[in-house]
């Protein structure tokens, strides 16, 4: 049986990294949109995508008892962000399900902003890792929408289907 935290993490992150890659492809070479922010004190759209990619690794590798891989400097333009997403996806492919045996109770010490945390693997994943990944991906999506990208819920999750031009 595949360990539950492997099933809840690696395949889900891989799915949503592909969605992030697809969202990036929809900006049509307009890298300026990657500098947009929802508010002056928030990360840029590009930084939101980069942070989401980072959280896919930051959330999984400690669960597998492995060090978090360092991202190479790939740039913050669309091509660099797509390469960052590909790097994260490739690293996720190296994680074997067996490494997640006992991950629920593995202690993970980490920082969240200025907070020093010590959480079980289950708490770390459920209350920190996955929510942060989804937060940053959602912020990138919102910035794209705010700046005129023709994207919707189906583009975010890859599951919904709406006719072209459908609006609530």
Closest CA to 63 of 98, 32, 21: 98
pLDDT at 34 over 80: yes
Give the mean model confidence (pLDDT) for residues 84-89. 98
pLDDT-derived band of residue 12, with 50, 70 and 90 as boundaries?
very high
| Torsion of Cα atoms, 151 then 29 then 70 then 12, to 10° | 20
Q: What percent of the chain has pLDDT over 70?
A: 100
Give the mean model confidence (pLDDT) for residues 118-135. 98
Give the mean model confidence (pLDDT) for residues 138-160. 95
- pLDDT tens sequence across 92-108: 999 999 999 999 999 99
- pLDDT tens sequence across 48-72: 999 999 999 999 999 999 999 999 9
The residue whose two tokens read 């490494």 is: 99
* Distance separating alpha carbons of residues 149 and 103, to the nearest angstrom: 39
Task: Tell the CATH topology of 4-98+108-157.
Answer: 1.20.120
* Distance separating alpha carbons of residues 101 and 110, to the nearest angstrom: 20
Q: 99 with 64: CB under 8 angstroms?
A: yes
Give the mean model confidence (pLDDT) for residues 44-48. 98
Give the mean model confidence (pLDDT) for residues 140-159. 94
pLDDT at 164 over 90: no
């Amino acid at each position: 049986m595949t360990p539950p935290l492997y099933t809840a993490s690696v395949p889900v992150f891989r799915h949503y990294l592909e969605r992030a890659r697809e969202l990036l492809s929809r900006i049509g070479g307009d890298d300026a949109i990657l500098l947009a922010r929802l508010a002056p004190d928030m990360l840029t759209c590009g930084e939101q995508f980069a942070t989401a990619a980072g959280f896919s690794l930051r959330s999984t590798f400690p669960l597998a008892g492995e060090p978090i891989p360092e991202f190479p400097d790939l740039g913050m333009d669309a091509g660099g962000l797509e390469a960052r997403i590909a790097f994260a996806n490739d690293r996720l492919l190296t994680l074997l399900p067996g490494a997640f045996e006992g991950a629920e109770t593995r202690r993970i010490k980490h920082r969240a902003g200025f907070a020093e945390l010590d959480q079980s693997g289950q708490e770390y994943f459920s209350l920190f890792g996955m929510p942060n990944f989804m937060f940053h991906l959602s912020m990138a999506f919102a910035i794209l929408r705010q700046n005129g990208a023709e994207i919707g819920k189906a583009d975010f999750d890859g599951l919904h289907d709406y006719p072209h031009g459908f609006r609530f």
